Structure 1
Amino acid sequence: MTTASLASQARDDRAAVDKAISLLVAFGDRASSGVGVSELARRAQLSKSTAHRVLGMLERNGVVERVGTDYRLGERLHQLGRSVYAAGHESLRDLLLPYLTDLYELTRHTAHLAVLHGTDVVYLGKLHGHRPAPVPSRIGGRLPAHATAVGKVMLAYDAEAAAQAIAGPLHRFTARTIADPAALAAELDRIRRTGIAYDDEESQLGLSCVAAPVLGRSGRAVAALSIAGRRGRIDTRRLGADVRRVAAAASQAQQRTGRLQRP
């Protein structure tokens, strides 16, 4: 095969991958319910014939599946997504869900259970409060740890992850997001002294959160619990004691199992 032929094949391969990813992204919030070929083609800015051909390839590989005349994301893609995270997350979530429920019932605000994955937060559980709040979290979703209460409280109890976060770029979501490495280091020191972290419109305007760590036997945070609500309608300072108390009980339960689950 000539050099020109190899270069042409490489361009074709890249083009095929780009088209496949564009189609997968195009499913959006209808990933589980299904989307028609014409609509997917429009969203991905592809011709209908190209979309149909690429979807056929994805279907053969189990990445998408047909639902009547529509397509939805397939089981293979869900399996790949699950494999990104530590195997222990599922058992950790099962162990700590009762404490997430306790926290929700105690406060009636939106409650979160999260773990660290590198310098990001991964949400394993979420219970919605009675009062709607502008919460950007979703189960399985990720956010940079430095911009969230659950993330900061876990960084404070994980020296390695904290060093990575401080050294890396600190994306600013709002004017209140901590984007200065020295300021983040000082905030983590404060959290270690108090055992609690706050998010005052750092991840999203109008949102306030308070979080406490679930500690393993080594003293590192294996997870975090938090509550969130609309700023002005939730007293995070007053409710911080409740969050810390439930997280302490969750820490004791986790340590009794002898299973230090870490990403």
Structure 2
Amino acid sequence: MAGGSASGASVTQRALALVAAFDEDHRRLTLTELAERADIPLSTAHRLVAELVAWGALARSGDGAYVVGRRLWDVGLLAPVRAGLVEVASPFLHDLFGATRATVHLAVREGTEALYLDRLRGHSSVPVVSTVGSRLPLHATGVGKVLLAHAPREVQRAVLADLRGVTPYTVTQPGLLSRQLEAVRREDLATTREEMSLGACSLAVPVRRGETVVAALGVVVADLRRDRTRLLSGLQVAARGIGRSFTRP
């Protein structure tokens, strides 16, 4: 169950369990599915879901299924660090996209996953699985490897202990990934080759606020052997610009 057992839970806990029932693989849920995933009685789910819809936390689609409401996203954007980061980074992401026409990502670490705060892509960009607000494995993405390389040791140990293959090219050997993370810290860049999705390669660099890595900036292309120098230069310029702007009072 996504929300865990709600037995003896308060009304607030049950409402939050209903919201937590949604995830990357469950974007649309019926009332019965919501109740099952939140582990609360159907009658209780019916009442709470109606209140969540009225507030805007959930919305009901034409076929009767429920989806996450726009108001939750609006509230989430008010989180101080992320809201400021997205706002500051936006012009730099647009400049980078204009110069490369590659899919551009801005991500931060959320536990043991990469949370995508922003994404720009065009009709000719390489297809990717990421969306704004999605969470992807740290070990299988370029931005994720940057964030993992600078994560606390306990986070690195947790990820290294559970390396799941996403494609045949995903790095699932702890020793190899550890060496890659050392290289990321040494070279200030990370690369992937079809590790998250076939036909997509990525190049990513850290975004620093002072000495602290607060985010990762990456591009996704079909082949890193072409224009790697130009892509890396564009990424580094954009990452430094974001970091300087984000540091200003």
Matched position secondary structure for 1:236: coil
Indicate the RMSD between aligned Cα atoms, in angstroms.
Answer: 4.0
* Shift in alpha-carbon separation, 1:241–1:214, aligned structure 2, 3 A: farther
In structure 1, the partner of 2:58 is: 64
With 137-146 and 116-125 compared, the bigger mean Cα shift is at 116-125
Residue 212 of structure 1 and its aligned partner are, at CA, apart by 1.9
Deviations 1:3-49 (A, max 9, x none): xxxxxx94899xx969x749954995568xxxxxxxx2576698xxx
Give the partner amino acid of 1:223: A
Residue 255 of structure 1 and its aligned partner are, at CA, apart by 4.1
Give the partner amino acid of 1:182: G
- 1:59·1:65 contact (CA, 8 Å) conserved in 2? no
- 2:35·2:45 contact (CA, 8 Å) conserved in 1? no
Matched position secondary structure for 2:129: coil
Matched position secondary structure for 2:197: coil
Matches within 5 A, 1:201-212: 201-212=194-205
Deviations 1:185-207 (A, max 9, x none): 10112223333221111112222
Query: TM-score normalised to the size of structure 2?
Result: 0.72
Residue 228 of structure 1 and its aligned partner are, at CA, apart by 1.4
Give the partner amino acid of 1:225: L
Q: d(CA) in 1 for partners of 2:157 and 2:82? A: 21
Residue 226 of structure 1 and its aligned partner are, at CA, apart by 1.6
* Shift in alpha-carbon separation, 1:52–1:182, aligned structure 2, 3 A: same
Contiguous gaps of at least 5 residues in structure 2: 1-5
In structure 2, the partner of 1:3 is: none
In structure 2, the partner of 1:176 is: 169
Number of positions where the alignment pairs a residue of Structure 1 with one of Structure 2 = 231
Give the partner amino acid of 1:227: V
- 2:106·2:116 contact (CA, 8 Å) conserved in 1? yes
- Aligned partner (choices 217, 221, 243) of residue 225 of structure 1: 217
Q: d(CA) in 1 for partners of 2:87 and 2:71? A: 23
In structure 2, the partner of 1:36 is: none
Give the partner amino acid of 2:49: L
1:93 paired with 2:90, answer no
Give the percent of matched residue pairs that are identical in Structure 1 and Structure 2. 30
- 1:147·1:177 contact (CA, 8 Å) conserved in 2? yes
- Aligned partner (choices 220, 227, 230) of residue 242 of structure 1: 230
Deviations 1:64-112 (A, max 9, x none): 35689956544675477x28x9630111111111121122111112111
Q: d(CA) in 2 for partners of 1:198 and 1:51? A: 47
| Greater share of residues in helix | 1
In structure 1, the partner of 2:98 is: 105
With 119-128 and 158-167 compared, the bigger mean Cα shift is at 158-167
Q: d(CA) in 2 for partners of 1:118 and 1:175? A: 25
Give the partner amino acid of 1:207: A
Q: d(CA) in 2 for partners of 1:66 and 1:56? A: 14
- 1:111·1:129 contact (CA, 8 Å) conserved in 2? no
Q: d(CA) in 1 for partners of 2:91 and 2:239? A: 12
Matched position secondary structure for 1:133: coil
* Shift in alpha-carbon separation, 1:181–1:55, aligned structure 2, 3 A: same
Give the partner amino acid of 2:182: D
Deviations 1:145-194 (A, max 9, x none): 11101111232344547634554412221221112221111011222333
Matches within 5 A, 1:59-208: 59-61=50-52, 62=55, 63-64=57-58, 73-74=68-69, 77-78=72-73, 82=76, 87-131=80-124, 133-158=126-151, 160=153, 163-208=156-201
Query: TM-score normalised to the size of structure 1?
Result: 0.69
